[in-house]
A = this chain, B = another copy of it.
Amino acid sequence: MSEEKKIPYKIYLEESEMPKEWYNVRADMKNKPAPLLNPGTLKPMTFEELRGVFCDELAKQELDDTTPYIEIPQEIRDFYKMYRPSPLVRAYCLEKALDTPAKIYYKFEGNNTSGSHKLNSAIAQAYYAKKQGLKGVTTETGAGQWGTALSMACAYLGLDCEVYMVKCSYEQKPFRREVMRTYGANVTPSPSDKTQVGRRIREEFPGTSGSLGCAISEAVEAAASKDGYRYVLGSVLSQVLLHQSVIGLEAKAALDKYNIKPDMIIGCAGGGSNLGGLISPFAGEMLRGEADYRIIAVEPASCPSLTRGRYAYDFCDTGMVCPLAKMYTLGSSFIPSANHAGGLRYHGMSSVVSQLYEDKMIEAVSVEQTAVFAAAEQFARVEGILPAPESSHAIRVAIDEAMKCKETGEEKTIVFGLTGTGYFDMVAYEKYNNGEMSDYVPTDAELEKGFAGLPKV
């Protein structure tokens, strides 16, 4: 400890130290993520094709795998200042409770009303849509953070916002809907009867609790059927990881300020937006041969795309209306068990994260639900923050790694992403508090069914 500067509980950058550019990790990847394919022609999506779905600037960002730094427009930087820089917290209290020699830090992205990191990309996507003169955007939301974030960004800019919310979340989280409505959004449980694809899925899977993949299909159809609307997506896409790089850039700047060198970086992974954003600048250093880190992606055992999925081209959505992406996937027809709380329910993984995993830059581990909530409770009681179930996947593995340090006596430095708060997850916490939470792990046979639906590319 003696050679270190005294490290505060929370490292806040000055506003003047906030990133002025996003970092595009694809520029430093030798093996680029595979391109999106047109589902009709199976050829790489062109800019002209993409701009029918996304607004122009975002289509450009989606295709750009060579420019390492992309300027953050001033208006977005001003919006960021409402809730950023987010603190990098030294988990002194957790370290003490665990009695570990490990040094634990977390980058806390939950200090905003959307309750998560999703706002970082929501404002960027809404900004470009507004700049292009669009009327509004449509989207899906799973656990609700993305929909809330987008509602906030649209309210700020004066854009219409239509949200298709995965049905089981809509029912588990009625108050999420009201937050979005307070921000002026229209919220529809998905699958709905408002779209063709929604009606088709309801017929095919009566009583389905929905999935992100299905809600995406509905939102894409809704955007396509209206003038002046585009579809926006909260994860998976390379443009989203670009915007989320602000997490990693701030985290790295804060670590550098105190001369802290992490040994491992841990993030939860659903579609990959938080993980990809957090690790981007660190992975960049690894790709350029400047540094080495252990990077660990944590996913739920109930939806294990990295640890048990296939690396293949797949549909991004259940309705198969979106471009194909090469990713670690469980198949677009895979619908996670309804018993699984919160987000991280997506069948596939960001192409960027998938390629980094394929290239062994990233490790992956899956954890079960009750162990995740046990970590959440432990963390909440000593660190004072009630974490989102999604974030708690990273907490679980951070605690496990810190306990390994206790055994070996190693003073490793662990950084994890605390993506959000759990204030809208109290139905799940109630189940855990009442001892009624159960685990679910899909059988190999169940996974095979999902794989059978993979397109032949």
Contacts and interface: CB of A to CB of B under 8 A. Distances in A.
A383 interface: yes
Most buried by B among A119, A156, A182, A184: A182
Interface of A: 8-10, 12, 14-15, 78-79, 81-83, 92-93, 111-113, 115, 119, 152, 155-156, 174-175, 178-179, 181-184, 377, 380-386, 421, 423-424, 426-427, 429-430, 433
Q: Report how many copies the assembly holds.
A: 2
Given A111-B111, A152-B384, A424-B423, A8 B178 contact: no
Nearest to A12: B12
20 contacts: A8-B14, A8-B81, A9-B15, A9-B82, A82-B93, A113-B386, A113-B421, A115-B423, A155-B382, A156-B381, A178-B426, A178-B430, A178-B433, A179-B386, A181-B430, A182-B377, A182-B429, A183-B381, A184-B381, A423-B423
Nearest to A91: B82
A112 B433 contact: no
Contacts of A426: 174-175, 178-179
A10 B179 CA distance: 24
A306 B131 CA distance: 49
Contacts of A152: 381, 384
Contact of A113 (B79, B119, B182, B380): B380
A82 B423 contact: no
Given A156-B382, A381-B184, A429 B178 contact: yes
Nearest to A381: B155
Nearest to A426: B175
A168 to B, nearest CB: 17
A115 B383 CA distance: 15
